[in-house]
A and B are shown apart, each in its own frame.
Chain A
Amino acid sequence: AQSVAQPEDQVNVAEGNPLTVKCTYSVSGNPYLFWYVQYPNRGLQFLLKYITGDNLVKGSYGFEAEFNKSQTSFHLKKPSALVSDSALYFCAFVGERDDKIIFGKGTRLHILP
């Protein structure tokens, strides 16, 4: 079955340090890959997506992600973390011939002051 995996339940990073939230995918064909963020008791906010083209995708709030086909990964990155980045992050995909978005289980990001 097609899926995305987020291997870390939680990531802790000191404020000002670079952060990475990992995502790997198992999707046939050319996947459309997404990152969403969820703050406590809120809905999901779109951060960025990879459809085609440049492997490095830039998104909201200074986040970026790199599509790596050989490693089937789409890790989320930010050069300098802020305390306000603390939230739940979801990697997701839409299959090439599908219409619905399927989510990973999420990674909780803690930015330590």
Chain B
Amino acid sequence: DTGVSQNPRHKITKRGQNVTFRCDPISEHNRLYWYRQTLGQGPEFLTYFQNEAQLEKSRLLSDRFSAERPKGSFSTLEIQRTEQGDSAMYLCASSSTGNSGNTIYFGEGSWLTVV
């Protein structure tokens, strides 16, 4: 068990550029979640997958945000035409299914700075 892995850990980009973050969940976990956290706030839910199916995406912040999990393993979160307000830490998490009380395990996060 190597834990949830996120890459890159830090990204600095110019406003208007596209960025993509990758998440590799714990290997036997079929649920994968994306959250955003800004300074001084708790993590904010964005979207989640069960295997390759995206079960909820209504919380994605705008149509510039999209997430995929094409083979039910790793996932990517893409932000198009970045804005300074997108600067935040993007957290990925995973869990097994079967019980809503299953523990959700987080990665170390990907910091985005838009300049």
* Chain A interface residues (CB < 8 Å from chain B): 32, 34, 36, 41-46, 49, 51, 90, 92, 94-106
Contact = CB atoms under 8 A, between A and B. Distances in A.
Given A46-B103, A49-B101, A94-B101, A99 B31 contact: yes
B41 A99 contact: no
Contacts of A90: 42-43
A102 B105 contact: no
A43 B56 contact: no
Interface of B: 4, 6, 31, 33, 40-45, 48, 50, 55-56, 91, 93, 100-101, 103-109, 111
Given A99-B48, A100-B33, A42 B100 contact: no
B106 A45 contact: yes
Given A42-B108, A43-B106, A44-B106, A99 B100 contact: yes
Contact of A44 (B43, B44, B48, B56): B43
A46 B41 CA distance: 18
User: Which of B41, B43, B91 has the most A CB atoms < 10 Å from its CB?
Assistant: B43
A46 B103 CA distance: 8
B91 A102 contact: no
A32 B42 contact: no
A46 B105 contact: yes
User: Which of B100, B107, B109 has the most A CB atoms < 10 Å from its CB?
Assistant: B100
A45 to B, nearest CB: 7
Given A42-B108, A42-B109, A43-B109, A95 B42 contact: no
